[in-house]
Amino acid sequence: MPASEREEAAAPVHDWPRLRDVPLFAALPDPDLRRLWDTSIPRRYDTGSTLRHHGSPADHLLVLLDGTVSASVTTAAGRVIRFGTWAGPCALDKVALLDGAGHTATCTALTPCTVRALPQARFTTLLDDSTAVRAHVLRLLAAQARAQQERLTDTVALPCEARLAAWLLEGLAGGSGSDGGTDGLVALPGSQRELADLLGVTRVTVNRALSRLRRDGLIGPAENGGLIRVLAPELLALRAAPDPGTGPDSRR
């Protein structure tokens, strides 16, 4: 086991209600939650460590109780594509346990993370036995398919500034990280390089887009360098949906 990953001492048995905060398990009765807790393995990951690698066998469902994780893949040409960040409590990469093709992304801890690892066989049994869990996974698959289609459309049709504005607005709604939306603050997914990878552009392009939004008074700096303060969300919404053929820079 890597030094950055360690198996924790067994958590107190009475902590099993924490699983109810995981959307996947929210509708399960108490006896089922207790069994899931008893059959899962507690693990701890340090900041910067890898929870799972893209393509590695998915033999456990990782249930993130605390912490924030990013998901990414690296292409054959060496380009990093980032899918976003996820904050606990949530279940990570559920799809990977369904098709047997390995993990769909590399999961990296952005903060210290507390995880329960549920064996794949237990998860598939849960899918067979629980209508609520099965319905949740089906909704997730549908949402992912729709999001992938929308992301592809945005990458082809929208300039960088529009994609950046849309990402910031999503962050205000609490969709881009655990700190999103607090007092107008949106957490960056690491560095500008990581934000560029997430938007599918170069670091120089995203830097220019950020500079334009700051110059126009739509965003400003926060005391914490890892945050962006949104000053004019209504105007930012206009930048997120530009008229066809308009916008200061359509380059990618």
The pLDDT value recorded for residue 56 is 93
Distances (CA, A) of 133 to 33, 66, 94, 95, 184: 12, 21, 11, 13, 34
Q: Could you tell me where the DSSP H helices lie in the chain?
A: 30-39, 96-99, 120-129, 131-157, 160-172, 192-199, 203-215, 233-240
Q: Does the global pTM surpass 0.75? A: no
Mean pLDDT by 10 residues, the chain (252 residues): 52 79 88 92 94 93 94 82 86 85 91 94 87 82 70 70 87 56 75 84 90 90 78 83 48 37
190: amino acid identity, one letter? G
The pLDDT value recorded for residue 38 is 92
Please, which residues have CB within 8 angstroms of residue 248's CB and are 6 or more apart in sequence? 159, 161, 212
Q: In Å, how far from its chain's centre is CA 2?
A: 23
Given a contact cutoff of 8 angstroms between Cβ atoms, the answer to whether 163 and 213 are in contact is no
156: amino acid identity, one letter? V
C-alpha–C-alpha distance, residues 107 and 80, integer Å = 13
Tokens of 167: 């990402």
The pLDDT value recorded for residue 155 is 60
Q: In a 3-state reduction of DSSP, which class is residue 116?
A: strand
Given a contact cutoff of 8 angstroms between Cβ atoms, the answer to whether 84 and 189 are in contact is yes
The pLDDT value recorded for residue 184 is 81
Go through 232-251 and write b for each residue having 16 or more CB atoms within 10 A of its CB, e for each that does not: bbeebeebbebeeeeeeeee
